[in-house]
Amino acid sequence: MTYLSLILTLAGKDWRLFWADRRAAVLAFTVPILLASAFGLIFDRPSPADAQMRLPLLIVAGDSPFARQVAADLEACPRVEARIVSRNQADRLLEERRPSVAVILSAFDSFAGRPTLEIYHHPLCTMEAQWAEGVVTEVVMKRYAAERFGPFAVRPPFETKAVAVGGPETRFNAYSHSFCGMTIQYLLFWGMESGLLLLRERRRGVGQRLRAGPVPFMALLLGKVVATAGLALLQALVTFAFGYLAFGVTVGPSVVAFGIMAVAVCLFAAAVGLLVAAIGGTESRARSVSVLAILGLSMLGGLWVPTFLLPGWLRDVSLSLPTTWAMRGLEGATWQGRDFLDTLPSVAAVLGFTVLFLAGAWWKLAASEKRERRGVIV
Partner 1 sequence: MPLPVAIRLENVTAHYAAVRAIDGLSLTVHRGEVLALIGPNGSGKSTTLRVAAGLLDPVAGTVEVDGRTRTADPQRYARRVGYVPQDADLYDELTAVQNLEFFARLYGLRGFELDAAVCRGLARAKLIDRATARVRTFSGGMKQRLSIAVALLPDPPVLLLDEPTAALDPASRDALFADLHKLRDDGHAILLTTHHLDEAEQGCDRVAILDRGRLIADGPPGELLRAKPTGRAVLFGRLGEPLPKFVERRVRQRLDPGIELEITGRRMRLSAWGSNDLGRALAIVLSEGVQLDAFRTPAGRLEPKAKAA
Residue numbers at the binding site for partner 1 (CB under 8 A)? 1, 5-6, 9-10, 12-13, 16-17, 20-21, 204-206, 208-216, 373-377
* Residue 235 to residue 330: CA distance in whole angstroms: 15
- Which residue number, 2 or 116, has a Cβ lying nearer to partner 1? 2
- Which residue number, 6 or 300, has a Cβ lying nearer to partner 1? 6
- The answer to whether 193 and 270 are in contact (CB under 8 A) is no
- The answer to whether 219 and 11 are in contact (CB under 8 A) is no
Cβ of residue 35: shortest distance to partner 1, in angstroms?
26
- The answer to whether 101 and 58 are in contact (CB under 8 A) is yes
- Which residue number, 123 or 213, has a Cβ lying nearer to partner 1? 213
Cβ of residue 223: shortest distance to partner 1, in angstroms?
10
Identify the CA nearest to 224 among candidates 375, 5, 4, 7.
7
Within 8 A by CB and 6+ apart from 374, the residues are: none
Identify the CA nearest to 250 among candidates 342, 332, 188.
332
Cβ of residue 349: shortest distance to partner 1, in angstroms?
36
* Residue 40 to residue 305: CA distance in whole angstroms: 11
| Amino acid at residue number 147 | E
Cβ of residue 370: shortest distance to partner 1, in angstroms?
9
- Which residue number, 155 or 209, has a Cβ lying nearer to partner 1? 209
What are the distances in angstroms from CA 35 to CA 29, 47, 66, 240, 271?
11, 22, 50, 12, 23
Within 8 A by CB and 6+ apart from 300, the residues are: 307, 310, 314, 317, 318, 321, 323, 324
- Which residue number, 81 or 201, has a Cβ lying nearer to partner 1? 201
Cβ of residue 230: shortest distance to partner 1, in angstroms?
17
- Which residue number, 76 or 378, has a Cβ lying nearer to partner 1? 378
Cβ of residue 335: shortest distance to partner 1, in angstroms?
39
- Which residue number, 7 or 264, has a Cβ lying nearer to partner 1? 7
Cβ of residue 206: shortest distance to partner 1, in angstroms?
5
* Residue 58 to residue 74: CA distance in whole angstroms: 10
- Which residue number, 97 or 204, has a Cβ lying nearer to partner 1? 204
- Which residue number, 45 or 204, has a Cβ lying nearer to partner 1? 204
Q: If you count DSSP H runs as helices and E runs as strands, how many of each does the chain have, helices first? A: 13, 4
What are the distances in angstroms from CA 97 to CA 50, 56, 101, 121?
26, 10, 8, 9
- Which residue number, 1 or 163, has a Cβ lying nearer to partner 1? 1
* Residue 321 to residue 315: CA distance in whole angstroms: 10
* Residue 163 to residue 96: CA distance in whole angstroms: 34
Half-sphere exposure of residue 23: CA atoms within 13 angstroms, side-chain side: 0
Cβ of residue 213: shortest distance to partner 1, in angstroms?
5
Cβ of residue 275: shortest distance to partner 1, in angstroms?
24
Cβ of residue 377: shortest distance to partner 1, in angstroms?
5
Return the H-helix or E-strand segment holding 84. strand 80-84
